């Protein structure tokens, strides 16, 4: 039940992340104002993720997730009835807070619930994320096809209702302080608050009086700093590619406007496919080895995808580009969750924050360098391979630190 709620929340979060910006642009107002509103989503996501992580390690993830899911309900409910500038601004701010909170802490809870299987579970959660991201535009199109005169208020209320089911579900999560079977005779140990289900052993134990190490421990650890840098550098080409792929398909390989979104479908399909495979296979492969293989595949298809000119060949390359990228984000998150078991809220929260902070930066850089007077869109997107090559070096460094530590 607990695992399902985490996966369901990530699915709805991804779906809402597609629906809300689309709805926001249909509510009227100037393009400049709409653009300003949307920028707040990216600005608040990393900040809220950091704050949520700190709170989760102190008051428990259950309360933080309930609050975060409420912040995802408010934007849709408020936008259905309130049309003023300030109401929309509050809705956008609320949505940004909810995104950062739920994505980070639902992922952290999955690492708590499945010790030793963190990588498989975070990859599974990202399969749900891909499904939600792909399902958002489909949901909007299907809604208007089934009900051509559907009012925007009705659509907003339906999404708010679905999202509220996540919040209600989190109320029924059971948290419990329990004593481990192996440490039961030692009064110096107790379980850190987290999810506890009948038949499941508690997931982690801390010395009595323990206070979460939080960000200080992560930032003072060489591996922690490298993980933060790695996920930042990974997110830049992933979201940069996703954000500009449709335009690239229309303007560079000249797909018809109605077919251009297929490029993004192939790309997200590749991401989902590799994540799905990792859920069931490759469990014996070390994290750093999996990251290295994924980044090499990514590097290869970053070259091919933006140099081939045949539309069908380009679409296939987009799929394999996504396939290469797919396992990197979940694996990095699971590495942080398993390494900092005593502070998973803070660890995963700051990782999500680092990832999210790359998004506005990379879109700004692509917009600048893709001008025809500079590199153009083709070579700008191809140039994102520099991020991937740098990440390969970072992963090798993490592997060396791990080898030196254990050796």
pLDDT at 278 over 50: yes
Q: What percent of the chain has pLDDT over 70?
A: 82
User: First and final CA of the chain: distance in angstroms?
Assistant: 40
Q: Report which of residues 211 and 239 the model is more confident about.
A: 239
Q: Name which of 385, 388, 372, 392 is nearest 306 in CA terms.
A: 385
The C-alpha atoms of residue 203 and residue 358 are separated, in whole angstroms, by: 32
State the pLDDT confidence band at 25, using cuts at 50, 70 and 90. Answer: low
Other beta carbons within 10 angstroms of residue 62's beta carbon come to 21
The segment with the largest mean pLDDT, out of 182-191, 196-205, 207-216, 291-300, is 291-300
* Sequential DSSP letters for 92-123: HHHHHHHHHHHHHHHHHHHHHHSTT-HHHHHH
Q: Which structure tokens are listed for 59?
A: 């008051």
Q: Which structure tokens are listed for 62?
A: 């259950």
Q: What integer is the mean pLDDT of 103-129?
A: 86
Do the Cβ atoms of 266 and 134 come closer than 8 Å?
A: no
pLDDT at 258: 60
Helical residues (DSSP H) of 114-193, grouped into ranges: 118-146, 152-171
Give bridge partners of residue 191 from the DSSP assignment: 205
State the pLDDT confidence band at 407, using cuts at 50, 70 and 90. Answer: low
Categorise residue 210: left if φ over 0, alpha if ψ from -120 to 50, beta otherwise.
Answer: beta
Q: Report which of residues 26 and 332 the model is more confident about.
A: 332
pLDDT at 24: 62
Q: For residue 60, what are the contacts with CB-CB under 8 A and spacing of at least 6?
A: 175, 193, 194
pLDDT at 181: 34
pLDDT at 107: 86
The segment(s) of the chain belonging to CATH 1.20.1250.20 are: 2-173, 214-406
Say which residue the tokens 């081939």 belong to.
308
Q: Report which of residues 216 and 196 the model is more confident about.
A: 216
**What Å distances lie between residue 376 and 78, 140, 245, 393, CA to CA?**
41, 32, 13, 27
Given the candidates 1.10.167.10, 1.20.1250.20, 1.10.1740.10, 1.10.20.10, the CATH classification of the domain at 214-406 is 1.20.1250.20
Given the candidates 1.20.120.1200, 1.10.40.50, 1.10.490.10, 1.20.1250.20, the CATH classification of the domain at 2-173 is 1.20.1250.20
């Amino acid at each position: 039940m607990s695992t399902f709620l985490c996966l369901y929340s990530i699915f709805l979060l991804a779906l809402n992340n597609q629906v809300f910006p689309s709805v926001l642009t249909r509510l009227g107002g100037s393009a400049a104002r709409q653009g300003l509103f949307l920028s707040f989503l990216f600005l608040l996501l990393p900040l809220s993720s950091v704050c949520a992580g700190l709170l989760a390690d102190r008051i428990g993830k259950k309360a933080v997730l309930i609050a975060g899911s409420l912040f995802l309900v408010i934007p849709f409910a408020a936008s259905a009835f309130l049309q003023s500038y300030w109401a929309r601004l509050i809705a956008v701010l609320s949505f940004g807070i909810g995104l950062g909170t739920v994505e980070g802490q639902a992922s952290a809870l999955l690492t708590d619930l499945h010790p030793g299987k963190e990588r498989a579970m975070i990859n599974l959660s990202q399969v749900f994320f891909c499904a939600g991201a792909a399902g958002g535009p489909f949901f909007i199109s299907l809604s208007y096809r089934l009900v051509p005169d559907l009012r925007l208020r009705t659509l907003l209320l339906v999404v708010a209702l679905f999202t509220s089911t996540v919040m209600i579900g989190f109320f029924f999560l059971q948290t419990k302080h329990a004593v481990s079977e192996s440490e039961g005779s030692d009064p110096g140990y107790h379980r850190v608050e987290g999810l506890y289900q009948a038949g499941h052993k508690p997931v982690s134990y801390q010395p009595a009086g323990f206070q979460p190490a939080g960000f200080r421990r992560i930032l003072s650890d060489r591996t922690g700093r490298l993980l933060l840098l790695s996920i930042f550098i990974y997110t830049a080409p992933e979201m940069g590619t996703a954000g500009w792929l449709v335009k690239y398909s229309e303007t560079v390989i000249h797909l018809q406007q109605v077919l251009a979104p297929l490029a993004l479908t192939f790309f997200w399909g590749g991401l989902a496919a590799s994540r799905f495979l990792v859920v069931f296979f490759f469990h014996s492969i070390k994290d750093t080895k999996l990251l290295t293989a994924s980044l090499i595949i990514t590097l290869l298809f970053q070259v091919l995808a933006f140099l081939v000119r045949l539309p069908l060949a380009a679409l296939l390359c987009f799929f394999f580009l996504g396939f290469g990228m797919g396992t990197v984000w979940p694996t990095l998150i699971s590495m942080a969750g398993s390494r900092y078991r005593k502070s998973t809220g803070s660890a995963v929260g700051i990782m999500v924050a680092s990832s999210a902070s790359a998004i506005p930066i990379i879109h700004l850089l692509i917009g600048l360098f893709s001008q025809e007077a500079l590199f153009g869109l083709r070579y700008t997107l191809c140039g994102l391979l520099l991020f991937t090559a740098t990440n390969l070096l970072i992963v090798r460094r993490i592997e060396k630190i791990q080898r030196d530590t254990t050796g």
